[in-house]
Amino acid sequence: MTSVDAIVARLTALHPKLIDLSLDRVLRILDALGHPERQLPPVIHVAGTNGKGSTIAFLRAMLEAAGKRVHVYTSPHLVRFNERFRLAGPNGGELVTDAELARTLEECERANAGAPITVFEITTAVGLVLFARHPADVLLLEVGMGGRLDATNVIERPLATVITPIALDHTEYLGGSIDQIATEKAGIIKKSVPVIVAAQHRDALSVIERRAARLEAPISVAGEHWTATEERGRLVYQDEAGLLDLPAPKLYGRHQFENAGLAIATLRAIKQFKIPQAAFETGIVKADWPARLQRLTHGSLVELAPKGSELWLDGGHNPEGGRAVAAALADLEERVSRPLVLIVGMLSTKDSESFLRNFSGLARRVIAVPVPHQDKGLPAETVAGTARAIGLGATSRDNLKDALIAAAKLDLDPPPRILITGSLYLAGEVLAQNGTPPL
């Protein structure tokens, strides 16, 4: 049987031009496949700019703690393509096997019959086929880009739609303003289906509220209908149904309190589910999502880091993502002071200057690296030059290993806190080289 990577490479060639958002191609292939989107378990559909994956991780952990069987569709993958498809089962389910994924990819390739299609569209079709064939109580479905014309937006009546914080990203496809991007994201809202909304820029919230009103979708907004705050190191959640006093999330950072709150609000808005408090408590401390302020404690890259240092990894790549990570690092600095060294690689499609500005006054040194295997990767020296232009001391290296060796030669006391960041593609490379891929 042909390998998964070989099939994906073959499919990539079918639609080599720039992404053009459309539902036509995915609707055509789903028709040829017998409409698996109509045979799915109940769906929670999640759109937004930042926090989608973490919110889904909390939803999954809480649902599983309540005894539910959960399918999960997310993107992009970090190391293996299989990461996009988690099939429900005991003990958190498992990623689809290579053999089943290859068979389903080839089945969808035959159904497509050589017609133009994007890799994400055919990947979504593969996911819908897999999720329709395996029993589950719920499917957590993450939007790839936008919402209105995203390939996942073929679900006519989900259990709920969720919108995480919206920010400027993918502007070449979604529009150059917050309200334009919000219009695309709000496209997942369905008639009379509850929509649960994270704290938003007022322009984004206005767009979401108007669409919800037009579709008579009950809306629940952070700060208005529910709150999730950190109090004495615990998460305190409150809505009209009452108060929950919960442990702090396992996932680190103030923004993860907000993501966990969004997950709780979603599950409390779905009348079909009755999630006990114990499941919220268990889920919040079990939820795991790689490359989101992940502390790396072992592996080949960790061994190259300066003796006694901390090595952290985050896939943040847009200004708002950088802001959340910088705030979390500032909190860490208050607890245990260490000089911060950033190892950064970014794509040319991202606003590297605005991303890096979040770390002004926080980072002692920036070491820029290229993002491997990415045509749109910025040259390392370009990233370093951007950092220097905003007042950050910066240099560049050719690869991650050389960057860590350079960090060790800085001779900082105490040993530094090192954060590798700027791209999910770079984060995937880190996990692969370190020998700690997601499971």
Q: What is the mean pLDDT of residues 268-276?
A: 93
Give the pLDDT band of residue 171 (cuts 50, 70, 90). Answer: low
Q: Percent of the chain at pLDDT above 70? A: 98
State residue 170's pLDDT score.
Answer: 72
380 assigned to some structural domain? yes
pLDDT higher than 60, residue 304: yes
pLDDT higher than 90, residue 331: yes
Q: Are residues 337 and 235 in the same domain?
A: no
Q: Are residues 331 and 210 in the same domain?
A: no
Give the pLDDT band of residue 12 (cuts 50, 70, 90). Answer: confident
Give the pLDDT band of residue 169 (cuts 50, 70, 90). Answer: confident
Could you say which of 286, 319, 349 is where a domain stops? Answer: 286
Q: Are 45 and 143 in contact (CB under 8 A)?
A: yes
Q: What's the pLDDT tens digit per position in 255-267?
A: 999 999 999 999 9
State residue 154's pLDDT score.
Answer: 97
User: Could you please report the per-residue DSSP string of 221-244?
Assistant: EBTTTEEEEEETTEEEEEETTEEE
Give the pLDDT band of residue 122 (cuts 50, 70, 90). Answer: very high
Q: Are residues 50 and 10 in the same domain?
A: yes
| Residue whose entry in the numeric block shows the structure tokens 């993502």 | 321
Nearest CA to 260 out of 272, 247, 269 is that of 247
Where are the strands (E) in 241-313, listed by range? 242-246, 294-296, 310-313
36 assigned to some structural domain? yes
Q: Are residues 139 and 186 in the same domain?
A: yes
The predicted model scores a pTM of 0.95
Q: Are residues 266 and 322 in the same domain?
A: no
Give the pLDDT band of residue 17 (cuts 50, 70, 90). Answer: low
Is residue 227 classed exposed, middle or buried when 0-12, 13-18 and 19+ CB atoms within 10 A define those classes? middle
CATH number at 424 reads: 3.90.190.20
Q: Are residues 116 and 165 in the same domain?
A: yes
Nearest CA to 160 out of 328, 40, 47, 326 is that of 47
61 assigned to some structural domain? yes
Give the pLDDT band of residue 389 (cuts 50, 70, 90). Answer: very high
Q: What is the mean pLDDT of residues 157-180?
A: 86
Where are the strands (E) in 49-119, listed by range? 70-73, 85-87, 94-95
Q: What is the mean pLDDT of residues 341-358?
A: 96
Please, where are the H alpha helices in 309-399? 319-335, 352-357, 380-389
The whole-angstrom separation of Cα 223 and Cα 195 is 15
Q: What's the pLDDT tens digit per position in 202-253?
A: 999 999 999 999 999 999 999 999 999 999 999 999 999 999 999 999 999 9
pLDDT higher than 60, residue 1: no
Q: What's the pLDDT tens digit per position in 39-74?
A: 999 999 999 999 999 999 999 999 999 999 999 999
pLDDT higher than 90, residue 33: yes
Where are the strands (E) in 132-241, listed by range? 138-142, 160-163, 195-197, 219-221, 226-231, 234-239
439 assigned to some structural domain? no
Could you say which of 235, 265, 286 is where a domain stops? Answer: 286
Q: Are residues 275 and 160 in the same domain?
A: yes
State residue 2's pLDDT score.
Answer: 73
Q: Are residues 276 and 300 in the same domain?
A: no
Q: Are residues 417 and 389 in the same domain?
A: yes
State residue 283's pLDDT score.
Answer: 98
Q: What is the mean pLDDT of residues 116-130?
A: 94
The whole-angstrom separation of Cα 202 and Cα 207 is 9
Q: What is the phi/psi pair of residue 46, to 5°?
A: -125, 120
State residue 16's pLDDT score.
Answer: 60
331 assigned to some structural domain? yes
The whole-angstrom separation of Cα 221 and Cα 212 is 11
Q: Which domain holds residue 367?
A: 294-434
The whole-angstrom separation of Cα 409 and Cα 244 is 48
Domain count for the chain, please give it: 2
The whole-angstrom separation of Cα 215 and Cα 336 is 49
State residue 313's pLDDT score.
Answer: 98
Torsion angle of C-alpha atoms 368, 250, 51, 380, degrees rounded to 10: 10
| Residue whose entry in the numeric block shows the structure tokens 């607890």 | 335
112 assigned to some structural domain? yes
361 assigned to some structural domain? yes
DSSP 3-state of 162: strand
Q: Are residues 257 and 301 in the same domain?
A: no
The residue with greater pLDDT, 128 or 2, is 128
State residue 19's pLDDT score.
Answer: 64
CATH number at 247 reads: 3.40.1190.10
Could you say which of 286, 311, 330 is where a domain stops? Answer: 286
Q: What is the mean pLDDT of residues 278-287?
A: 98
Torsion angle of C-alpha atoms 65, 58, 301, 362, degrees rounded to 10: -140
Give the pLDDT band of residue 18 (cuts 50, 70, 90). Answer: low
162 assigned to some structural domain? yes
State residue 241's pLDDT score.
Answer: 92
The residue with greater pLDDT, 11 or 45, is 45
User: Could you please report the per-residue DSSP string of 8-22?
Assistant: HHHHHTTS-S-----
Measuring CA to CA, how many Å separate 97 from each of 84, 101, 130, 213, 269? Answer: 12, 6, 11, 43, 34
Q: Are residues 51 and 138 in the same domain?
A: yes
Between 165-174, 245-254, 279-288, 414-423, the lowest mean confidence (pLDDT) is in: 165-174
Measuring CA to CA, how many Å separate 1 from each of 126, 175, 332? Answer: 17, 42, 48
Q: Are residues 397 and 306 in the same domain?
A: yes
What's the mean pLDDT when you consider all of the chain?
Answer: 94
